[in-house]
A and B are shown apart, each in its own frame.
Chain A
Amino acid sequence: MVRGIGDKIDFKILLPLLILLLVSVLSIYSATKLPGQYSIFLKHVLWIISGIFIAVFFYFFPVQRLLSLSVLLYIISLAFLVIVIFIGKKVSGSASWIQIGKFQFQPSEFAKFTTILILAYFLSKRNVRADNPVTLIVAGILTFIPFFLTILQPDFGTAIVFGAIFLGIMFWAEVPVFWLLLLLAPVVLIIASFFSIKVFIAASILITILFLLMRKPFVLTFMIVAMNLMIGLTSEHIYHKVLKPHQQKRISTFLNPAKDPLGAGYNVIQSKIAIGSGGLIGKGFMKGTQTQLRFVPAQWTDFIFCVPAEEFGFVGSVTILLLYLILLWRVINLATLIKQRFASLVAIGIFSTWFFHIMVNIGMTLGLSPVIGIWLPFLSYGGSAMWVNMAMAGLLMNFYANRRELN
């Protein structure tokens, strides 16, 4: 039987991936043009090249082996997370790096991958039933450990990603949506209560409607909604009455950086100026004044999106968005294509990770979401993230190549 190369290689993943890597190389080259920063660019290229080897490794790695290694890998990653708390190297306030010689490694990135694996492994076990509350509790504990350890670093931004992974995988594993909603509702309401009374009311109405859609007994729905509103109102009360002004300010600038134009808000303002000034076709490669003059801090890591947006304009930034959309769309389809539960759940876990990162990172540069220091897949500078993402991409292509066997 002769099948084309398209049968073994998923071009819908490979092509957007390669283009994104190219955009990344160009963007980081542009953002590190000043003397003394050339090494950043060189390192980035090295990460990508080594990342390709990792992707190839995972492309050929037997899925069954991976499944059986899940527990071990998970435990190793937790061990690293514990170690990093003690010997971690501090980078801008959080000790999230382990330094081995010249080599730096970020255990929380590795943990994202192993958390996906352990959740997929656990939920694909024959005797685990998705509609059993115990399943939710065990999965919750499995996620909470790396989440909690990451919080301790403290790296709140990365920690939330575990929550996104958890929700995505649970949703895909057919855990009743009602349960997920029960978990999510108070979080949403607490956050909404910090914004403004309008946002809080809107969120309350939305959540009430969602609970009504669950078609549970009216009394139960009423009690749940009441509970949630109480939690939201209490947190609002705590925020306004109990917290000291500087604590309030910390929360409010986290949620709305524009309020602090010289502090956290500065990044967002500069990022919006960089993006907005790009116009339709941009200022041209290496001609972005905001990029070239370092107006946007952390330009090559968290704010990398500004570089192509400034230098290639609306055309460039929408192209990048479309590449991500193709990639993410493909991962959803791939998850349905693969019938093996473990692989399918892993695919959705990867989808959740990427989707959350893209949503928050781009949203942050556009001033839509809070400033959380998390990378943009394949574009941001950073070795550990690049390797983990490449591993994930290799694994997805592995699933595609072996889709008929994974049944």
Chain B
Amino acid sequence: MTETSRVKFLKILLSIIFLFFIVKLYELQLYRDVEYKRQAEINSIRTIQHDPIRGLIFDRNKKIVVDNVPSYTVTLTPYEFDMKNLDVLAKILKVDRQYILEKISSAPSPFSPVKIRRDAPVRAIAYIEEHRGELRGVDYLIEHKRNYRAPGLASHILGYVKEITSSQLNIYKGLYKPGDQIGQSGLEKSYEPIIKGEKGYRFIMVDALGRFVGKYNDGKNDIPPAEGSDLILTIDIELQAFIEELLRDRSGSVVVLDPRNGEILAMVSKPNYDLALLSGYTPGEVWSQLNSDPKKPLLNRAISGLYSPGSTFKMVLAITALETGSVDLNWKVYCPGYFVYGDKVFKCHTSQGHGWVNLTKAIEVSCNVYFYNLMLRVNFDDWSRYGGLLGFGKKTGVDLPEEIEGILPSTEYFNRVYGVNKWTKGYLISLAIGQGEISTTPLQMATYAMVLANSGKYHQPHLVKEIINKKTGKIEEVSYYTREIPVSQRTFDIIREAMYLVVNSPSGTGKGARVEGINVAGKTGTAQNPHGNDHAWFVGFAPYENPEIAFAIIVENAGFGGAVAAPIAKEIVKKYFELKNQRTEFKVAKW
């Protein structure tokens, strides 16, 4: 090789290598720079999420029902954590190792901390503080958890807040991150977007070891968390507590609302559960116990419990008959205590019979035979139509997520279920007395009582009265719909008078609801229950002249409505006016 060719060789080698470098630099810095810039940002700028404080919940008299208390959340950075400390950690956190391992595996990266235990015991925090050296990667932060001023009270209305599940994460992609809290039921769920507030973010710069180096851009990009809005409920927590106490350990539901505006004053579902059990960390066994309890404490019977309305439904038939002109008050039926249709015998609730009864009397004494006959005189579809107008078979639109609509049968419904011409009029006879293929929720029954109390005015029932916007500081009223039910005043007058007699006449079935000094009107019902004893119903309103409350009461497996549910109505009416008077006196005294 000559000198010239050696020089050439070296220069070509040099050029090739440098060209190679420039191509690589082009690739890194010009072609893929966006990707690397993003990585550099992730690398050096850590985003620290600050959970907002959830809004408070007040009752209608501005009493705090739900607020927040600080709680410790233990976090773990998988990369730094030494797995041999797993058992110690599981022990101090009072969870099993599998629980921690699952949380660790949900970590988006080994370098970012995951929340492994909410609501950690204070002793665990003390231990972590004392053993920082050994428990590398384990840290804690202060978060907030829901605090219930009266544990166990109104649990179904309020609902619980829990860590978001993976299926929810899929639905709310982008809005929530793993480890976030979310309202899972009740008002916490339906008002989640309002009550949750907005997350805040701090951007800090960290070095390669994740150590804090400084604020990013002097904190100019930081977003402070925004507190969630407060809810002012329509619930009177004292009335609620009173009714819950009244039902004690019976299963059932009570809904009390203000017929003048649809505000729900109390909504009780029994049995209930202690929300504090579900706030913060809930051990698996508590969960499974609640879920497998045959009494279904998690079920909000007021809106998700389906029952036959029983005799309380007789007014629907009466309204249909009066409005369509099928009968008038002079039309009478002789009740021998039973009714024969084809080869079937339908019983009245007293075997000796009611004798000759007209519509008013039939309601007062709850005569089944009258209504069996009446059912055959009205058009079935008219009955369905009036039932629908009175709010059956569809959701009331209450501001809770779990509401279901129940069943109000119609020709179309029967055709669908049994096939055209596969069912007979005999199917309709039980419907006359609210039995058979019909189901309602206690809330629907309460709104039914409201419509009767109001002579046709229907207000959307609701639990939230006002929202206090924490950002603007303003109180926002929530608007609800109102509709007029196209039924004549005369018809309502007849029905209302009959309901007055139910409670106040000597032969009325609802005498148990009578209150000294206040005229109560109502209707009893006894719903046959294929699974056991009958359910006792009572729907009504008070005062008769100028109703302030309308209510529906059901006690499961308790027998006759007049015997069990009516006395509860009495207590509720008494309590309502007692509380009302107390508050007026208090206001006067304050003046």
Cα A293 to Cα B208 in complex, Å, equals: 7
Cα A150 to Cα B329 in complex, Å, equals: 118
Cα A301 to Cα B232 in complex, Å, equals: 65
Q: Is A202 an interface residue when CB atoms closer than 8 A count as contact?
A: no
B430-448 interface bits toward A, Cβ cutoff 8 Å, 1 = contact, 0 = none: 0000000000000000000
- B-side interface mostly: helix
Query: Which residues on B sit within 8 Å (CB–CB) of A174?
Result: 1, 6
| Contact A321:B33 (CB < 8 A) given known A177-B1, A293-B207 | no
Query: Which residues on B sit within 8 Å (CB–CB) of A336?
Result: 3, 7
Q: Is A329 an interface residue when CB atoms closer than 8 A count as contact?
A: yes
Establish whether residues A273 and B6, one from each chain, have CB atoms under 8 Å apart when the complex forms: no
Q: Is B579 an interface residue when CB atoms closer than 8 A count as contact?
A: no
Establish whether residues A359 and B26, one from each chain, have CB atoms under 8 Å apart when the complex forms: no
- Chain B: minimal CB distance from A163 (Å): 16
Q: Is A275 an interface residue when CB atoms closer than 8 A count as contact?
A: yes
Query: Which residues on B sit within 8 Å (CB–CB) of A14?
Result: none
Q: Can you name the residue of chain B whose Cβ is closest to the Cβ of A325?
A: B18
Q: Interface residues of A, CB < 8 Å — how many?
A: 43
Query: Which residues on B sit within 8 Å (CB–CB) of A272?
Result: 28, 36
Establish whether residues B40 and A274, one from each chain, have CB atoms under 8 Å apart when the complex forms: yes
Cα A351 to Cα B1 in complex, Å, equals: 19
Establish whether residues B1 and A278, one from each chain, have CB atoms under 8 Å apart when the complex forms: no
Query: Which residues on A sit within 8 Å (CB–CB) of B208?
Result: 270, 293-297
| Contact A290:B14 (CB < 8 A) given known A275-B28, A279-B33 | no
- Chain B: minimal CB distance from A160 (Å): 16
Q: Is A23 an interface residue when CB atoms closer than 8 A count as contact?
A: no
Q: Is A108 an interface residue when CB atoms closer than 8 A count as contact?
A: no
Q: Is B17 an interface residue when CB atoms closer than 8 A count as contact?
A: yes
Name the interface residues of B1-42: CB closer than 8 Å to any CB of A. 1, 3, 6-7, 10-11, 14, 17-18, 20-22, 24-26, 28-30, 32-33, 35-37, 39-41
**Selected contact of A290 from candidates B21, B24, B43, CB within 8 Å:** B43
Establish whether residues B205 and A314, one from each chain, have CB atoms under 8 Å apart when the complex forms: no
Establish whether residues B36 and A277, one from each chain, have CB atoms under 8 Å apart when the complex forms: yes
A295-320 interface bits toward B, Cβ cutoff 8 Å, 1 = contact, 0 = none: 11100000000000100011001100
Name the interface residues of A247-275: CB closer than 8 Å to any CB of B. 262, 270, 272-275
Query: Which residues on A sit within 8 Å (CB–CB) of B11?
Result: 329, 332
Query: Which residues on A sit within 8 Å (CB–CB) of B39?
Result: 273, 276-277
Query: Which residues on A sit within 8 Å (CB–CB) of B18?
Result: 321, 324-325
Q: Is B304 an interface residue when CB atoms closer than 8 A count as contact?
A: no
Establish whether residues B22 and A321, one from each chain, have CB atoms under 8 Å apart when the complex forms: yes
Establish whether residues A293 and B44, one from each chain, have CB atoms under 8 Å apart when the complex forms: yes
Establish whether residues A318 and B25, one from each chain, have CB atoms under 8 Å apart when the complex forms: yes
Cα A318 to Cα B20 in complex, Å, equals: 12
| Contact A290:B40 (CB < 8 A) given known A276-B32, A317-B25 | yes
A-B contact pairs, 17 of them (CB 8 A): A177-B1, A262-B79, A276-B36, A277-B33, A277-B40, A289-B44, A293-B205, A295-B44, A309-B29, A314-B26, A317-B25, A325-B14, A336-B7, A363-B21, A366-B24, A368-B20, A368-B21
Known: A332-B11, A351-B10, A366-B28. 13 other contacts (CB 8 A): A270-B43, A275-B29, A275-B36, A280-B29, A280-B33, A289-B41, A289-B205, A295-B44, A297-B208, A314-B30, A317-B29, A366-B21, A368-B21
Instruction: For the complex of A and B, list the 6 residue pairs with the smallest distance between their C-beta atoms, beginning with the closest.
Output: A276-B36, A277-B40, A276-B28, A314-B29, A289-B44, A279-B33
